[in-house]
């Protein structure tokens, strides 16, 4: 900071920033040197920003000037943030804090002199966060003084961040709750010096679709918490196109948890919006909320408000959000586990509300479901179905400074943490209010149910031993579903590089990768690491039944006959009997893009049937889903941020 500055300014985080990431600025001073106001915006790096004794900061900080853009760097970012509540608050021991959303991208504008300007903020181009603080310095003068903090951004496309794909890159698919896991571990693996190039690509098509793609041989591996569990039914296609489960092993990669989470917030004593805290709901209340929705929970509100005065101060639900109680429509483990605990522990109350609002479904028993969109009886008119994390994120971020009330969602712990949502403490079987922590999730592991194929499933009736830690009953294990048969291409010829990549990736994930798991995912236990290591050793151990087709040299056409270049089918084909027949085209090639686009188009009709469910909100994400299906790497974006202050507009 330039000039006499008796106050301190701290910014966190400042590295590994994604598009839409929320950063917090904290100001601290003493009563002899009060701060009257602070302004923050992202500007050009390398500028020696000056002080000002005027009513406004120095010209080099002007919005739309030569250094600071006139529009946000991205649609997920704030242009500027002004905090005018610093005079008293900054003198508190904890200081005064405000938040700002920062973006990744490039923006152009004409400055106040008419000159064209361009600013890029990304992994190769750090930018500066400039915080102009107006306060009384040690010399007794009131002035604007800049604090400049370098911001460094992460590469959210890990394939590009690793310098490209490794030879023999493997393909995978999963729910988008795995996206941060895949991005973080891919970057960590290739940056630790042991791996050159990204060894895996991934599509975030939803868990049910991912396991179907694994069954059909369209991907080399899939991530799922339930795998091929017959009661759940993933990986078996549909009536029109049934699929046969592929010979595979389940490799534990992390601990996660199904949660009910609440976003948005309430005003604090200074009038700033802050997240809810210490929210507790009984199992009866959770049951009523999910089975009947916001309009059917009125009789429970007095008890909820008595236990959660923060909710009473704002009302249970946001009045302006498109999502009041939401969930994804796709087949997901989180849906299976949440409906499972209610069906098991509150079966007498897990019914469609018995009133005319629900027509012929009124009073019917509900069951355990993998998909809210396909459940019978229906959840239409009860839940707002949203197709992907980005839509939930946007619904929360669109809430204005003075728009309060809860935005509720059935999701997983990693996603809730990523979006900055408050995780609800729910009752376990013993009646204790528990939230998922490292301790409560570890406690839940000890009583989980083991399956014949080596998976662990939640025990909804788990309770603490005398004096022990109360388990969080919806803790679950994330698994990689990997093939026992060797990976082959479309002609049944071995893919040795891909086979080695599969082993290397999973070995890294269950060992070194456990140290870099994203927030909300907990490491697996030593015994699970041992089981995973044994399972990895079995990969490729079962012989394929297909017959290799020799590669024939190209003798004409566009091929290079003189060089003896071999040709094989350009796109992956399916092997319905559980044999991997996937050929991975080079990343970024027209072959890869065309194949993924064809796959996306083939999936879309089924997605429409699964996700629409009469709910218009679910359709909003179709374009985004199509995009996810047609690229091999997803750039995770949009950290949750509570809009607390007067901000510049967003593009």
As a three-state string, the secondary structure of 542-584 is CCCCCCCCCCCECCCCCCCCCCCCECCCCCCCCCCCCCCCCCC
Query: In the predicted model, what is the mean pLDDT of residues 452-461?
Result: 95
> Mind listing the pLDDT tens digit for each residue in 235-259?
999 999 999 999 999 999 999 999 9
* Residues contacting residue 620 through CB under 8 Å, at least 6 positions apart: 386, 387, 391
- Give percent of the chain above pLDDT 90: 72
pLDDT-derived band at 342 (thresholds 50, 70, 90) equals very high
- Is residue 226 within 8 Å of residue 214, measured between CB atoms? no
How far is 452 from 250, CA to CA, in rounded Å? 11
Residue 618, classed as helix, strand or coil, is: helix
> Mind listing the pLDDT tens digit for each residue in 601-645?
333 333 333 333 334 333 334 333 333 333 333 333 333 333 233
- Give percent of the chain above pLDDT 70: 84
Give residue for tokens 């985080």. 13
Q: What is the pLDDT of residue 4?
A: 57
Q: What is the pLDDT of residue 591?
A: 33
> Mind listing the pLDDT tens digit for each residue in 512-526?
999 999 999 999 999
- Is residue 425 within 8 Å of residue 261, measured between CB atoms? no
Q: Is the Cα torsion angle 194, 197, 199, 205 positive or negative in sign?
A: positive
What does each C-alpha distance from 635 to 69, 228, 331, 480, 525 come to in angstroms?
A: 24, 29, 23, 21, 30
Domain extent listing, the chain: 8-154
- Give the residue ranges of DSSP H helices in 148-201: 158-161, 179-191
Q: What is the pLDDT of residue 554?
A: 67
Average pLDDT of every residue of the chain: 85
Q: What is the pLDDT of residue 154?
A: 83
Give residue for tokens 């507790």. 280
Nearest to 438 by CA among 398, 483, 393, 469: 469
Q: What is the pLDDT of residue 570?
A: 32
CATH tag, 8-154: 2.60.40.230
> Mind listing the pLDDT tens digit for each residue in 90-118?
999 989 988 888 999 999 999 988 999 99
> What is the per-residue DSSP string for 466-531?
TTSPPP-TTEEEEEEEEESSPPB-TTS-B-HHHHHHHHHHHHHHHTGGGGGPPTT-BPPPHHHHHH
Q: What is the pLDDT of residue 76?
A: 82
> Mind listing the pLDDT tens digit for each residue in 290-309?
999 999 999 999 999 999 99
At residue 323's C-alpha, the angle toward residues 318 and 329, to 5°, is: 155
Query: In the predicted model, what is the mean pLDDT of residues 480-508?
Result: 97
Query: In the predicted model, what is the mean pLDDT of residues 488-505?
Result: 96
First to last CA, the chain: 30
What does each C-alpha distance from 414 to 100, 186, 217, 340, 371 come to in angstroms?
A: 22, 17, 28, 20, 20
Give residue for tokens 């049937």. 609
How far is 510 from 527, CA to CA, in rounded Å? 11
- Is residue 388 within 8 Å of residue 332, measured between CB atoms? no
Query: In the predicted model, what is the mean pLDDT of residues 139-151?
Result: 95
Q: Mean pLDDT lowest for which of 188-192, 283-287, 398-402, 477-481? A: 398-402
What does each C-alpha distance from 330 to 234, 259, 262, 374, 431 come to in angstroms?
A: 11, 17, 20, 9, 31
> Mind listing the pLDDT tens digit for each residue in 62-90?
999 999 999 999 988 889 999 888 999 99
pLDDT-derived band at 5 (thresholds 50, 70, 90) equals confident
- Give the residue ranges of DSSP H helices in 352-451: 389-397, 413-418, 438-445
Per DSSP bridges, beta strands 425-427 and 280-281 are parallel
> Mind listing the pLDDT tens digit for each residue in 544-573?
999 999 877 765 444 433 333 333 333 333
Q: What is the pLDDT of residue 270?
A: 65
Q: What is the pLDDT of residue 202?
A: 95
63-68 contacts: CB < 8 A, separation 24 or more?
A: 63/648, 64/109, 64/110, 64/111, 64/112, 65/111, 65/112, 66/111, 66/113, 66/115, 66/117, 67/43, 68/41, 68/42, 68/43, 68/44, 68/130
Nearest to 131 by CA among 103, 175, 166, 98: 98
Nearest to 573 by CA among 490, 474, 466: 490
Six-digit token pair at 441? 């999730």
* Residues contacting residue 487 through CB under 8 Å, at least 6 positions apart: 170, 220, 494, 495, 498, 499, 502, 540, 580, 582
Q: What is the pLDDT of residue 40?
A: 96
Nearest to 543 by CA among 494, 583, 498: 494
Q: What is the pLDDT of residue 597?
A: 37
φ, ψ dihedrals at 127, nearest 5°: -120, 170
Nearest to 470 by CA among 441, 501, 500: 441
């Amino acid at each position: 900071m330039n000039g006499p500055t008796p106050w301190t300014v701290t910014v966190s985080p400042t590295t590994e920033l994604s598009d839409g990431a929320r950063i917090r600025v904290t100001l601290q001073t003493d009563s002899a040197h009060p701060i009257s106001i602070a302004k923050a915006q992202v500007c050009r790096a390398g500028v020696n920003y000056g002080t000002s004794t005027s009513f406004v900061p120095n010209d080099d900080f002007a919005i739309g000037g030569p250094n600071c853009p006139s529009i946000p760097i991205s649609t997920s970012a704030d242009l500027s943030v002004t905090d005018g509540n610093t005079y008293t608050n900054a003198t508190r021991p904890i200081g005064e804090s405000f938040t700002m959303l920062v973006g990744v991208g490039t923006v152009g504008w004409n400055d106040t002199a008419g000159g064209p300007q361009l600013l890029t903020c990304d992994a190769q181009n750090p930018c500066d966060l400039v915080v102009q603080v107006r306060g009384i310095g040690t010399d007794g003068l009131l002035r604007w003084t800049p604090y400049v903090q370098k911001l460094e951004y992460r590469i959210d496309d890990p394939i590009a961040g690793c310098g490209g794909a490794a030879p023999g890159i493997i393909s995978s698919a999963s729910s988008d709750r795995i996206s941060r896991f895949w991005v973080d571990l891919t970057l960590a693996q290739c940056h630790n010096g042991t791996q050159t190039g990204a060894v895996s690509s991934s599509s975030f098509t939803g868990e049910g679709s991912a396991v179907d793609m694994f069954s059909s041989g369209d991907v080399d591996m899939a991530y799922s918490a339930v795998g091929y569990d017959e009661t759940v039914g993933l990986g078996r296609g549909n009536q029109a196109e049934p699929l046969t489960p592929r010979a595979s092993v389940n490799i534990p990669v992390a601990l996660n948890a199904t949660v009910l989470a609440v976003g948005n917030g309430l005003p604090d004593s200074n009038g700033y919006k802050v997240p809810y805290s210490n929210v507790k709901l009984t199992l009866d209340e959770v049951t009523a909320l999910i089975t009947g929705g916001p309009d059917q929970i009125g009789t429970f509100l007095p008890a909820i408000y008595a236990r959660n005065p923060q909710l009473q101060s704002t009302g249970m639900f946001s009045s302006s959000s498109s999502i009041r109680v939401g969930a994804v429509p796709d087949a997901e483990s989180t849906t299976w586990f949440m409906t499972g605990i209610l069906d098991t522990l509150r079966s007498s109350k897990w019914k469609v509300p018995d009133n005319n609002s629900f027509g012929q479904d009124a009073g019917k028993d509900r069951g355990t479901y993998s998909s809210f969109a396909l459940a019978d009886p229906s959840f239409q008119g009860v839940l707002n179905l949203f197709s992907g994390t980005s839509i939930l994120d946007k619904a929360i971020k669109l809430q204005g400074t003075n728009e309060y009330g809860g935005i509720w969602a059935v999701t997983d712990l990693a996603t809730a943490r990523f979006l900055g949502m408050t995780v609800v403490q729910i009752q376990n079987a013993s009646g204790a209010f528990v939230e998922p922590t490292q301790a409560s999730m570890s406690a839940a592991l000890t009583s989980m149910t083991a399956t014949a194929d080596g998976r662990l499933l939640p025990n909804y009736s788990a309770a603490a031993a005398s004096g022990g830690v109360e388990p969080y009953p919806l803790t679950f294990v994330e698994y990689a579903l990997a093939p026992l048969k060797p990976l082959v291409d479309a002609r049944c010829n071995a893919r040795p590089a891909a086979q080695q990549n599969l082993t290397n990736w999973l070995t890294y994930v269950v060992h070194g990768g456990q140290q870099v798991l994203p927030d909300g995912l907990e490491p697996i236990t030593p015994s699970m690491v041992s089981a995973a290591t044994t399972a990895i050793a079995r990969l490729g151990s079962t012989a394929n039944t297909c017959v290799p087709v020799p590669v024939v040299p190209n003798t004409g056409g566009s091929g290079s006959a003189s060089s003896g270049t071999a040709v094989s089918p350009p796109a992956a084909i399916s092997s319905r009997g559980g044999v991997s027949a996937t050929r991975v085209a080079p990343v970024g090639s027209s072959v890869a893009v065309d194949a993924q686009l064809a796959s996306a188009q083939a999936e879309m009709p089924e997605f429409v049937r699964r996700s629409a469910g009469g709910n218009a909100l679910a359709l909003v994400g179709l374009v985004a889903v199509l995009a996810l299906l047609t690229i091999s790497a997803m750039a995770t974006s949009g950290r949750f941020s509570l809009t607390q202050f007067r901000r510049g507009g967003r593009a």
